[in-house]
Structure 1
Amino acid sequence: MNTPAQGLPSIRQRLVRVLAGVSLAWALGVSAVVWFTVHHALDEVLDNALRESAEVMYGVLSGQAGVLRLGHASSLPAPPHAEHLVWQIVDARGAVLLRSHQAPDAAFGPPQRVGLWSAAGDWRVCGLALPAGGDSPARTLFVAQRLDERHGALWGASALTAGAALAVGLLCAAWLRRLAREELRPLVALSRAVEGFHPQQDGQDLAQVTRAELVPMRAAILSLAQRLALHVANERAVAAHAAHALRTPLAGLVVQLATAQRQAPPAIQPALQLARLSADRLARVVGALLTLFRSGAELQWQPVDLAALLANLPVDGLQLHLQPAGPLPLRGDPDLLAAALANLLDNAARHGARTLEVRVLAEGDGQRIVLADDGPGVPAQRLAELQAALAAQDYASAMGLGLMLADLVARAHGGQLRLPPAARGFTAEMWLGPAPQG
């Protein structure tokens, strides 16, 4: 029996979500850390490169101070090219004496400013004081790099490394998700094995598990199944012994009542007739109990003539109509079918039905026996309660022996009992599964 799982949390889904969330958070965190680290490390590397470039130019310009032609904002001759580093030589008054050809005409800053700083929001500048003495006045060397180029390099490197870290994290999340599903497969396999496990059938054993954590669970299920099987076997034995003990006295009681009815005066004939009918019904109930507690045995599948079977199940006051008229072939266990149908017919008669229509229809590979009577029927709410109880095999929910027995017989045949809504009277459908081959 499958238990509805709607609305219940799933271990697999929760585990997959947790692993995916942790992996994604890790990936985002690592990406942020990588971006921050690379951004600041590269910024420091670029500053060091700018400072070292300034120091190299400082050495070159210091050695060539005598031959350089310094003038107002003059540029050093060079072929056309894109400069990623520009430079200026500034005098003590802040005037540009010499510059690279793409450096601005105005000084990056006051001549006394040395070290690293950002100028006017557009440049990153390193200032070094050139040596003064003799004919050389005090001058300052400014080497600069555009901030947009630095930012482009910083963002590009940071984005590339952070994106790579995020991609690796997402791949790990997908891998962990798949791994979680694979690790939960043995639990799903065990649940399916338990669903198909019938401890009362000879030679059947619960499938072995492939994870150490499931070994105690399998042992507990087997222990529970053994206890349940023993409990059911004891109940069946008690019921069978009780039914056997009642059958002989009941048969004798029926015979005695029939004899007494023939010899009694007319005044008490109705009472004896009622007692005889009650004794007959009690005998059928006892016979049904005997059949019911034999239903765990192997079914005796064989062709069954339903019309002939019904002819041997007379119910006083109930007329049977077969559709179509004539033999209605079935395949099933005749004893079990007779016990189930006898109780369904008795239910119809006791609830006021006068006629009952019987049909046999094909149902996939199996068959369906439809019994529709003209009685008062059952309210819709009560019918829904009975159908739900049958679906759950909850036979203790104020359900009579007839419906319980019919459902057990149908399930023994691989089907079940259904109670569809009826415009008139009460309808019961016994669905029987396909007969075994061979």
Structure 2
Amino acid sequence: MGAEPRLSRAGRLLPRTVRGKVAAAAALAMALLLAAGGIWLYVVLRSNLLDNTTGRTELAARKVAAQVDAGTVRPLLPPPQDGVDLVVVLDEGGGLVAASQQTGAARELAGLRPPPGQDSASRTLTEGGHHEVAVVVRAQVPGGPASYVYGTTVLSDVDDATGAIGWALLASAPPLIALAAGIAWAGTGLALRPVTSIRTELAEVGSSALDRRVPDPGGADEVALLARTVNATLDRLEQAHVRQREFVADASHELRNPIAAVRSRLEVALAAPDPASVRAALDDTERLQRIAADLLLLARLDAHPQPVSEPVDLTLLAAEDAARRRTARVPVELVADAPVPVRGDPAQLERMLANLVDNAVRHARTGVQVRAAREGNEAVLDVVDDGPGVPAADRSRIFERFVRLDAARTRQSGGTGLGLAIAREIARAHGGDLTAGPGPGARFTVRLPGRF
């Protein structure tokens, strides 16, 4: 229980906007970069200066060691050069042999000796809050025991240089971090300015303003792609809204007349019982039932459900449909040389074929031909009649809902006006399509992915 308030308080301290998060990330990255780079620069600079100072001190000690080896060393050595502070020569027991100045450091230096197998060694000493480097070189007094030459240099210059670098890094870090955060804040603001415009315009889009579109900043970056995707989505929403509005208007128009007819005929039947009026009312009721069933099926298809995937033979499906139509107004002929297997929902594919054949039988003069075949990797189903056909200009409009092209397609003989729309939606739900083409009369072709 106690951890949740702490987490919520920590969450409130974090930036909430994208600009704030990017600026904070840039500031953190700059701080880490300065810390890592500053430490590296400090270490490398101090090491380099210390190596140079140690080299100068060792060189001064070796010059005196050469004098010791030659037996020309004097008790008072000349002052060393190159910034070296002190040169001292001690014997094996630590006694003072020679020095460049009066000093009491012999005792402290006597403990520094070269390791076995080497003739020199160095060490950094701390005395009175100051740092100094000490170098010892082994020398050999002619005819006598070994001596040791010590050189020391105070590291004040090294400390001053590294201290100045450290303070400069510490002083420059806050402005650099603030500069990085400011640049990130400004750059993110410029990059997100189109997003603000998109959000503002999108907030104005409503059911009565679906024709509005968000501004496209151009280019090929993520924001431009977002704007185009939003506009494409708004296009689909507008089209869906228009289709829904037209569909509702068409459905209400189609249902108004049958409902009014049923009511009037039932009123007549109540006033004077008449079997003909009751039969007509029943026919209108059946028509209403068919329209309602078609509307429900279209509503399910509009939701784009994944159809059942079962093996279906289009040739067998067409043969069964033709067998059921032996007493149809015109004969239905099946043309198929071999099975044409596909995968899909048998009930929906049967409904698709039935709608196409019903439409063909309704408008055919002497007969209907159904052909099932394979074409490449596709299964093709053709339904052809010898009726008046579909004009080329109307071959796409024929699949719209409640469309009747001419007087021959009346509400009494032309069905509900939903059969072809349902057939096309079923074909598309199965990964194919339904098109209208030229023929002796009307030709409707279904192409589905085959399963060969």
Query: Could you say whether these structures have the same fold, taking a TM-score greater than 0.5 normalized by the shorter chain as the test?
Result: no
TM-score of the pair, normalised by structure 1: 0.42
TM-score of the pair, normalised by structure 2: 0.40
